[in-house]
Chains A and B, each alone.
Chain A
């Protein structure tokens, strides 16, 4: 029998029992749908996180005080005050870090802000005028603070949308004075809402010159972070090495294992987050695969029933000249066709669900959630479901091929 007719015979076998065929593949459909959904949503989440991380610019390098602890007892890793003004001066030296384009020391803290009778808990973010560039911030009212403000330690602030809402309601805050940690600051600009799904949420922040924050608000001499941008993306690796060397010189460290700072590039961060999300995705895929396996067992069950039920048909075919191989391929192909159709339906269903969820997340959370069609999941799903057909259809098909024509014809 040629392949075309094996196909035709198998297909006829499936279509004569349409509703049972549909129920049989349900397990495969659910399994593949789950896998498609997980991979697509995982990809979407990864894209969202990476998009936000890379939104800072891939030429951005962050210097964090302290090193990554090597173990729970590695207390000395937490040097929260290790980054000082002399480091900024050393890093700004073109001989030390040739690729440097801009450098921005930052300080973070929490505190209460107040205007009139209204008070609101805010995050205080001290930085330089580069902050607007690096985070792509555009005040919807007023202006960002300037280099002059930073140098003169002016009491000026740019406030986020939530701060505006809680302190001013519908009034215009520009030019007004608010109290932050008891000190008066003049509001020079306000920021539009950045949305709840963002990695960096400026909505409840007050931004101000780091100099003002250090000297007048916090009374500290160190920085929470130093953000550096290089001229080009290609300079990032050499610049991070230069930065590390400069800081070691500045801190009199000879052994890199004793570093009291961590240099983190956006690429490092993206890679690390990417690893976490894909590990999570594949874990969920593994869970969904259990559904697939159960679906495969279901296929085997139904195929065995089908083989018994069609014993007479098998006997007849053999009497009329079908070889064992013909019967084997007919039933094997039926199983593979069933699971492949199940896989296809699952792929379409999973992708559609992921698409709907993507729209729901974009609209509902106001985040830029992208729908990703998981090609790897689709190919994997189709391959796995066909493989399930082969594996779980193999035993019933073998049983069918083994039947003797007279036993089969006698069967009532």
Chain B
């Protein structure tokens, strides 16, 4: 079953005078439980594609079906609810709330969800333990290392138990050791918990954790290939 289906997806930006085409009609699909990496140099449209797939932005034209729903016609509030329920985001710059504890950060999506409040702490604690940060639960963002911050962000993405995790350069701001650790957690989410993962990266080493790599160039798909020698979960980094 395809969880993501896009046909001829286009995105253009107008600044009043000129039109800049970021995506000029891409079509592909992602199966449920698949791990796809989207690669490409900067300006290739990979961030734009991720924003469209993550329901953060609306395409100029084309068709997008997410988890069986035609979302191109959804209102911004409907999209917000869908993001909350079925999508988890991991950003390059973590985007944790300052002066807020790990627990409060991870609980943030629940505040906007329909999950009853008495389950919040339990769910958040479970998600934090799943990324190996159970001992850091009451700590503030400033007290965490970069790798730990990204793991908090992953826990936050998991807490609503979404179908798909979108990760935008999740290792971009990390040293190689923390980066590997984060990637192994993401791969585990895909292989053990069966989450669909769509990852953006410009590093081949990161992309090779995925099953499949879509390469973008100038707003078009250049290639769509299976990864032959896939990097596997490196358990020694997961505590």
Contact = CB atoms under 8 A, between A and B. Distances in A.
A and B are partners in one complex rather than unrelated chains: yes
Interface of A: 1-2, 5, 9, 12, 16, 312-313, 315-326, 404-406, 409
B95 interface: yes
Contacts of A326: 112
A406 B57 CA distance: 7
B84 A321 contact: yes
A320 B89 contact: yes
A406 to B, nearest CB: 5
A323 B84 CA distance: 10
Given A16-B98, A319-B56, A406-B56, A5 B80 contact: no
B112 A316 contact: no
Q: Which of B80, B81, B108 has the most CB of A within 10 A?
A: B80
A325 B77 contact: yes
Contact of A322 (B80, B95, B97): B80
A320 B112 CA distance: 8
Contacts of A1: 111-112
Given A404-B57, A405-B56, A406-B56, A321 B95 contact: no
B126 interface: no
A318 B95 contact: no
A320 B97 contact: no
A175 B33 CA distance: 117
Contact of B83 (A9, A12, A319, A409): A319
A132 B90 CA distance: 90
B113 interface: yes
A16 B99 contact: yes
Given A404-B57, A405-B56, A406-B57, A321 B113 contact: yes
Interface in B82-120: 83-85, 89, 91, 95, 97-100, 108-109, 111-113, 117
Nearest to B82: A321
A321 B85 contact: yes
Interface of B: 51, 54, 56-57, 76-77, 80-81, 83-85, 89, 91, 95, 97-100, 108-109, 111-113, 117, 156, 160
Contact of B76 (A12, A16, A324): A324
Nearest to B76: A324
A312 B96 CA distance: 10
Task: Tell me if A's interface is mostly helix, strand, loop or mixed.
Answer: helix
A312 B95 contact: yes
Contacts of A409: 56, 91, 95
Contacts of A9: 111
Contacts, number: 60
B152 to A, nearest CB: 13
Nearest to A16: B99
A402 B109 CA distance: 20
17 contacts: A2-B117, A16-B98, A313-B97, A315-B95, A319-B56, A319-B83, A320-B83, A320-B89, A321-B80, A321-B112, A322-B80, A322-B112, A323-B76, A323-B80, A324-B77, A406-B51, A406-B57
A307 B197 CA distance: 32
A406 B11 CA distance: 14
Contacts of B77: 323-325
Contacts of B89: 319-320
Contacts of B112: 1, 317, 320-323, 326
A70 to B, nearest CB: 69
A326 B77 CA distance: 10
A389 to B, nearest CB: 22
B37 to A, nearest CB: 21
A405 B98 CA distance: 18
Given A326-B112, A406-B56, A409-B91, A321 B99 contact: no
Contacts of A323: 76-77, 80-81, 112
A9 B156 CA distance: 17
Given A313-B97, A406-B56, A321 B81 contact: yes
Contacts of A318: 56, 80
B163 to A, nearest CB: 14
B221 to A, nearest CB: 21
Given A313-B97, A404-B57, A405-B56, A320 B108 contact: yes
Contacts of A404: 56-57
Q: Which of A313, A315, A406 has the most CB of B within 10 A?
A: A406
A402 to B, nearest CB: 10
A8 to B, nearest CB: 8
Given A320-B108, A320-B109, A325-B77, 12 more contacts: A2-B117, A12-B100, A312-B95, A317-B108, A317-B112, A319-B56, A322-B80, A404-B57, A405-B57, A406-B57, A409-B91, A409-B95
